[in-house]
Amino acid sequence: MKAARVAFVTGGNRGIGLAIAQGLARAGHHVVLGTRSEAAAVLPVDTLLSEGLAASAHQLDVTDPASVVRAVADTANEHGRLDILINAAAVAIDRGQLASSADFEKVQATLNANLLGLWRCCSAAIPEMRKHRYGRIVNLTSHLGSVSTMQGGNVSYRVSKAGVNALTRVLAAEVASDGILVNAVSPGRTATRMAYGETDRTPEQAAVAAIELATLPDDGPTGGLWFDGGSLPW
């Protein structure tokens, strides 16, 4: 059976990214796992293939512009299209860091991965989506990026996710006439390596909302910030 759509999932080899990839594959889509190394993709891809699902992988470093362009181009060339982009790759390396005494190496690394890396992936994917006038982009954000509830600490992570929220709105407006829907979703306090043990849900539970946004009908919402099926304050 031919896969319904082609989905590229950054950070797709573990955590929420892998849970989203699994959900999309089980829904009948071909998923391409973007991973920092080819070795990191072997086990998750083999597991999906053992279930009879359509899956493959491509090396991806979102902080490397050439790597992003290559991953998207190769995916589109191999499968003839790119329909869904899930931006799950991110870092959290500044727990407790204050804006007034920031470690700017961590700030730069965080913004490069979480905001600019995601932006690079969107910029590379949108031209491929425009070719078929169909696309779904889902950006993983965080409650910590909500300006309405913004507090101190974790400054570079907060700023990076606030930037993701702003970029989501801008891109959604730009591509609305191209059949491309762009949304941001917070997974909540999910049990991943980035959560420091402060969790109340599994990656599979967190993935549900992202999968729904990745498979929206053509008249679905765009430019939204979501959590568990409802809107989240900006």
Cβ atoms 57, 112 nearer than 8 A: no
Look-up: residue for tokens 């829904």?
Answer: 27
Q: What gap in Å lies between CA 53 and CA 73, rounded to an integer?
A: 23
The reply to whether 157 belongs to the active site is yes
User: What is the DSSP track for 91-155?
Assistant: ----TT--GGG--HHHHHHHIIIIIIIHHHHHHHHHHHHHHHT-EEEEEE--GGG-GGG--SSSH
Query: Does an H or E element contain 55, and which?
Result: strand 55-59
Name 95's Cβ contacts closer than 8 Å, sequence gap at least 6: 153, 154, 196
Report the DSSP pairing between strands 84-87 and 135-140.
parallel
Catalytic one among 33, 86, 107, 157?
157
List active site positions. Answer: 157
